[in-house]
Amino acid sequence: MDKSQVKEMLENVAAGSVSVDDALMKLRMEPFEEMGIANLDHHRGLRQGASEVIYGAGKTPQQIDMISRHLWDAGQKTILITRMSEEAASAMSPSLPFKYYKDGHVGLVGEMIQPKTEGTILVATGGTSDIPVAEEAALTAEIMGNKVNRVYDIGVAGIHRLLSHTEDIMEAHVIIAIAGMEGALASVIGGLADCPVIAVPTSVGYGTAFGGVTALLSMLNSCASGVSVVNIDNGFGAGYLASMINNMEAVK
């Protein structure tokens, strides 16, 4: 149950179409659901503004389907599934309104939330190899109700490519800068932007990239102000944080 659903229920109580006792019972039953393989947090949307998200890696297709059906039956209208394999996607129950986004390994049960603000989140990558992480970030932000602009393969190896998108950078409310190798993209964008920049190091690169550690350390040591950093390949975390920043005014 999210804030809009609670508000609707309270309005129904005020209008007399739902009794106080029924509303109280609904709230008492909501906090979490024990289902053996998982404890589902039905109050997360009310507390945090974004409902429970399913992390698909390490879960069997059957577990993902079961958890999705329980969340859907409990009234969650937008269910995001990250790190979801094609095998798991093909095993989803046909009774669920499900869509799979292969490029980002993201699944969606229900519908994307409609944007509450005109603010745009810009998702930029250093190279084409960073796109899977970028799509996880972009889709997370879109599903959570944000306008997203994508600009891919604009790394500093050809700085003119980045500078050709200066207008996109200037107009964004939040920027997610995604890069592997030496991770310089975040610093360059941070030096051009007047909005928060969320840096995502990826595990793309040759030997001394150390699976993304080099890009991570580079981003953490950025001399550009306003740059924050999430974990290696954590597109979801970046998309979630960008959504929170972009919607701060809308939730007041």
Q: What is the pLDDT of residues 18-32, one digit of tens each?
A: 787 776 666 655 666
CB 173 within 8 A of CB 195: yes
Token pair listed for 217: 């350390």
Token pair listed for 250: 């809308």
Give dist(CA 127, CA 152) in Å, integer. Answer: 7
How much is the pLDDT for 15? 84
The domain spans of the chain are: 31-110, 120-246
Average pLDDT of span 147-156: 94
Q: Give the phi and the psi of residue 121 in degrees, each rounded to 5.
A: -100, 125
The CATH number of domain 120-246 is 3.40.50.1970:
yes
Average pLDDT of span 210-228: 94
| Helix, strand, coil tally for the chain in percent (to 5) | 45, 20, 35
The b-or-e profile of 192-208 (16+ CB within 10 A means b, else e) is ebebbbbbbbbbbbeee
User: Which of these ranges, 26-35, 69-78, 101-110, 196-205, has the smallest mean pLDDT?
Assistant: 26-35
pTM: 0.83
